[in-house]
Amino acid sequence: MFPETAQCLKAAAPLFSQTVLLKDLSRLSTHGGGSHLQARRHLSISRCLTSKVRPVRTPRERVEIPGLEAVTYGEKMHYVPGLSKPFHPQWERSYKDPGHYRAPPAHEMPLFKDRSCFVFNQRTSALEGVLQALWLTKTKLISSLPPQLLSLSENPANQIPDQDERVQNAIKHARFWDTTEERPGKERYSNTMMVNLLHLCATLQSSHPAIGRRTQAEKCSLATTWRRGEDLFQIRGQNGLLHTCMDPLPEVSGKQEVSDTADHVLETFYPVSPTINLQKVNVYKEEMNCSGFRDDYPYPHAHTLFFLEGADANCKLRPDQFRAKMLMFTFGNALVRAQKLYGPQRVLDRPVTVQAVGTNGRIFQFMVFQLNTTDLSGDDGIKNQVWLDEDVELYDFAKVRPLIQRKQVKVPAGLAGYKPEAFSKFLSLYLHGAV
């Protein structure tokens, strides 16, 4: 190679490298690598999480110069380039229109308070489940139903004629006969089964006239307030299906057993806060105590609350959180009744008893709550009591078609594994107060 040619190539090398670099950058920006507005490829997450986000548009500040008036296109009634946008004050209606109501800021509302209130509603999922509900309600847990309550269904005089056969027919009606679908939804058959079992228990009214002094109410609202330590708590929401009666339920435990609860130590879950997962609000009524009925309602006493696990399709609770919801609303109904009967009295002369039954169509949760005191501020003194029998199976399988594995029928079609003990507990709670 000639010396002149080598010198020319050496001089052209920087220009060639710059050209290649510019081509690479243009190719990179074409495919989205060089522009920061293009979305990167993330193979582990969905596209909606990696899409471009529209930048937040900050409103312009209106500058007012004294003595100068902005020239706008307000009189033209249409947009004119170069002219300012006219400013129109917000029009306020001279009448109330619920469809266009705008709530004022929270701090301007008349019920606003600096002290926060923690609200438990029917969609609250308590992180610690039953343990958190026990602390909030200052309650002692007993992991079985009272023996005197279970003995009610063992008496042949309190049983239904052909009881097992009629209960199985009620299950088959809910799972197979109530719909033309191949497989009914849990929300449908659990509700049908609950209604069927209640209707079956109501057939004992001829031999137990006290059952006629009851009625049912659905979706009645509950609201109550109490203080626990330095915090203020409220329960708001709908009960679901509520069984009410003219006469209150008798207390389950005697005075000596109630006095022994003073030695019980409430279990804590430190470092988790007891108010976790509760709704924190600052707009509320200070003293709220409403059972959902008028004062002259002929059936003022809550007997049993019935909860369906799949009733709300937008809120699915785990079993422990579902039992915590049952405990909180049972406690709320008992607290409302105690405050109306005894007022500010701390330790109740006659405890208030309320029951609860929860199911998903196959597994039942049975609960009996006894409110002994309304002094819930501290951890010492008399405690409330709750008897809980959880995860009681009514049957094993209800198959429209048999389950076949390796040419063998593992589960036959129809109802299999019926357990009469579950309905006996259901019947015992229903007959409580009528025998």
Q: Taking 60 as the threshold, does the pLDDT of residue 248 lie above it?
A: yes
6 vs 335, residue with greater confidence: 335
The identity of residue 260, as a single letter, is D
The identity of residue 130, as a single letter, is V
Phi, psi of 248 (to 5 degrees): -70, 155
Of 208, 220, 265, 235, residue with least CA distance to 379: 265
Q: Taking 80 as the threshold, does the pLDDT of residue 190 lie above it?
A: yes
Torsion of CA 91, 92, 95, 96, to 10 degrees: 110
- And the tokens for 278? 């509760």
**pLDDT of 37:** 47
How large is the average pLDDT for residues 127-150? 96
Q: Taking 90 as the threshold, does the pLDDT of residue 140 lie above it?
A: yes
DSSP assignment, residue 178? S
- And the tokens for 285? 């009524």
How does pLDDT run across 344-375, given as a tens digit for each residue? 778 999 999 999 999 999 999 999 999 999 99
Q: Taking 80 as the threshold, does the pLDDT of residue 51 lie above it?
A: no
**pLDDT of 43:** 52
* Average model confidence (pLDDT) across the chain: 88
Query: Which residue's entry shows tokens 């004294």?
Result: 66
pTM: 0.81
Of 238, 186, 185, residue with least CA distance to 359: 186
SS3 188: helix
How does pLDDT run across 372-384, given as a tens digit for each residue? 999 999 999 999 9
- pLDDT band at residue 12, thresholds of 50, 70 and 90? very low
How large is the average pLDDT for residues 161-186? 91
DSSP assignment string, 27-72? HHHHTTSS-TTSPP--TTS-GGGTSPPPPP-PPPPPP--TT----B
- pLDDT band at residue 337, thresholds of 50, 70 and 90? very high
Q: Taking 80 as the threshold, does the pLDDT of residue 28 lie above it?
A: no
Is residue 294 within a helix (H) or strand (E), and if so which, with residue range? none
**pLDDT of 40:** 53
**pLDDT of 265:** 95
Q: Taking 90 as the threshold, does the pLDDT of residue 15 lie above it?
A: no
Contact present, 321 and 152 (Cβ < 8 Å): no
How does pLDDT run across 369-415, given as a tens digit for each residue? 999 999 999 999 999 999 999 999 999 999 988 999 999 999 899 99
Kindly state the percentage of the chain with pLDDT values over 90.
69
